[in-house]
Structures are given as C-alpha cells and as structure tokens.
Chain A
Amino acid sequence: KQEVTQIPAALSVPEGENLVLNCSFTDSAIYNLQWFRQDPGKGLTSLLLIQSSQREQTSGRLNASLDKSSGRSTLYIAASQPGDSATYLCAVIFAGANSKLTFGKGITLSVRP
C-alpha cells in the first residue's frame, strides 16, 4: 500500500530555532512531492513542490529536500517565528496514481515567543 508518514505528530520549539520536519513514503516511484501549510479551520497553502527529477527546492526561509531512493523528504525552516505555527502536510503523487495526492497526517508546529 502506498503511504505517507509524518513523525512526530506535534512539535513545539522556541522562536528563532532552525527546525526540520520529516516525511517518509513507501514507494520510490513518484511524480512529485508537495509540502503544504494548514492553519486551523483553513484550507491548504502550497509551500513547495519538488519534481521527481529534483533534489531540493527553496522559498525564502523554507528549503525542502527529496531523496527518492530512501523514500524521504525534509522541510527545513530557518529562524522559526511564531507566525510559522501551523500544521505542515507532506503529500506525494505516486507513479500510476492518476495525479491524486496521498497525504501524511501532518505535523502540528508550535513556535513559542
């Protein structure tokens, strides 16, 4: 079964800390991987998209890496701020999956002032 796993489910850090959010997936044959942010009661905001041929993508303080062979991706957040507090979801389009995203359960991040 093709699955995406995010551990831990929750994380609390002090403001200013650099942090890494992990994502693992069961099948290395993927089209792409997306990281999303979700604020309470809101929809999903796309943060970064990594194609299967790419190793990483960067946007501002965010950097996402992809290692298909090990089935892992990491989202690196530099100099975390209280405004970064949200749930971060990793999602994969597996090859042959007709464009449907398979999501992890997310990591709820709290950045303490």
Chain B
Amino acid sequence: GAGVSQTPSNKVTEKGKYVELRCDPISGHTALYWYRQSLGQGPEFLIYFQGTGAADDSGLPNDRFFAVRPEGSVSTLKIQRTERGDSAVYLCASSLRVSTDTQYFGPGTRLTVL
C-alpha cells in the first residue's frame, strides 16, 4: 500500500508569510507525528496526534506553530509569521499504534524562508 505522503515537497516563502504543510499518513494508522530536521542534525519532535487529538505538543517551538488532524487522518502543520530560522525539512511519520510500533516517515517538505 501507499506510504506516508507529504505536500508540497518544497516550499519557498518570504519572511512574515503564513504556510501550511500537509501530511497523509498510512491508511489505518492512528498515530501521527511531526518532526523538524535542520541541516546536519537528527529530526526533532514537534507534535504527536493520537486520533484527532494532539497527545503531546511539547516540541512546538512557539505559538506561531499549530497543527490539526480534524478527521483523524490527514494532518496540517501551520506556521504563522514565518522567520528565517524556521527553514528546515519538516517530516511527518505515522504508526499503527503508539510507543511500541515502527514509525514510518514521509519524504518531508523542505521549507525555505527568505
């Protein structure tokens, strides 16, 4: 079956603009995760959903970042008033359940803030 997909693959925006990044998890996976990866670093956790609710949003850097998963499937990561420091690859992952299951990652969205 299809893996995790993310759109767009690349996004270039200007400082101060609003962006939305989309993630389509593997069908039937109840858990969905967002991570951010800067150049030369490992991914860093942002937020995780169990079903429709955000179970842990402790990794969101500030209140400019927000994510939703209204129907328990597709998720959107929203960034307001983008800053140059937000430039990174945003990775989405999903797993069948939580804690003990393999997380499967999408190809990522490369965000560049000019």
Contacts and interface: CB of A to CB of B under 8 A. Distances in A.
Q: Is the A/B pair a real complex?
A: yes
Contact of A102 (B4, B45, B91, B95): B45
Interface of A: 4, 31-32, 34, 36, 42-46, 49, 51, 89, 91, 93, 98-106
Contact of A44 (B40, B43, B59, B99): B43
Nearest to B47: A100
Contacts of B95: 99
Given A31-B99, A43-B105, A99 B91 contact: no
B102 interface: yes
Contacts of A104: 42
B91 A31 contact: no
Contacts of A99: 31, 33, 48, 55-56, 95, 98-99
Nearest to A46: B102
A91 B42 contact: yes
B91 A51 contact: no
Given A99-B99, A100-B33, 17 more contacts: A4-B42, A43-B4, A43-B106, A43-B107, A46-B103, A49-B102, A89-B42, A93-B99, A98-B58, A99-B48, A99-B56, A100-B48, A100-B59, A101-B33, A102-B45, A105-B42, A106-B42
Contacts of A91: 42-43
Main secondary structure of the interface of A (DSSP, over half): strand
Contacts of A51: 100
B57 to A, nearest CB: 10
B95 to A, nearest CB: 8
16 contacts: A4-B42, A42-B108, A43-B4, A43-B107, A45-B105, A46-B102, A46-B103, A46-B104, A49-B102, A91-B42, A98-B58, A99-B95, A99-B98, A100-B56, A101-B33, A105-B41
